[in-house]
A and B are shown apart, each in its own frame.
Chain A
Amino acid sequence: GDSVTQMEGPVTLSEEAFLTINCTYTATGYPSLFWYVQYPGEGLQLLLKATKADDKGSNKGFEATYRKETTSFHLEKGSVQVSDSAVYFCSMNSGYSTLTFGKGTMLLVSP
């Protein structure tokens, strides 16, 4: 069945460091891919999305490229800030209108 696997956290970085959070998926067909972010005590906010192969989603300095050949959608940011500390969820929608989520990766950024 459909599934999303993302790297376990926490990921601990210093401010201005480079961030990569790995995400791979298993799906029938060609899903849309998303990254959501969850700040403490809050719901999930859509960070970025990509709907077809080779698309690059970007928002607030974060980027992720839809790689069909490796079934991956890794999240990157060139220079993280303390305010980026949150839990990041990779997810997909394989066309049945239901999002499938990974387990989440906590990011902790220190000054």
Chain B
Amino acid sequence: EAGVVQSPRYKIIEKKQPVAFWCNPISGHNTLYWYRQNLGQGPELLIRYENEEAVDDSQLPKDRFSAERLKGVDSTLKIQPAELGDSAVYLCASSGQGTTEAFFGQGTRLTVV
């Protein structure tokens, strides 16, 4: 079974530019998460989807971040415009219905210069 797939693995952009990350969860997993992991820290939730509905986006900086999960499968996270402080690893995870653990992709390392 394929795991959670993210792309790209690495991205370097100049500040004020837009950037987008893509995630394909494990097949059949209804719940999809985007986490941000700053250097030396644990992951922090940005947004959680149940199917195509965003059920927890309280930590998403909505002035510059947006996300979508069309058709309740893959998802895109966008930042526009990027700031230096957005440099981090962006992790996507998914979990199946009725389960409590999440399975993570390899992450996208974003560097804003």
Contact = CB atoms under 8 A, between A and B. Distances in A.
> Bound pair: A and B?
yes
B97 to A, nearest CB: 10
A45 B104 CA distance: 7
Interface residues of A, number: 23
A103 B41 CA distance: 5
A89 B33 contact: no
Contacts, number: 56
A99 B40 contact: no
Contact of A98 (B33, B101, B104): B33
Interface string B14-50: 0000000000000000010100000011111100101
A73 interface: no
Contact of A97 (B4, B48, B103, B104): B48
Contact of A44 (B43, B44, B48, B50): B43
A103 B40 contact: yes
Contacts of B100: 32, 49, 51, 93, 97
B53 interface: no
Contacts of B33: 98-99
A46 B31 CA distance: 17
A96 B33 CA distance: 13
B45 A104 contact: no
Contact of B45 (A42, A98, A103): A98
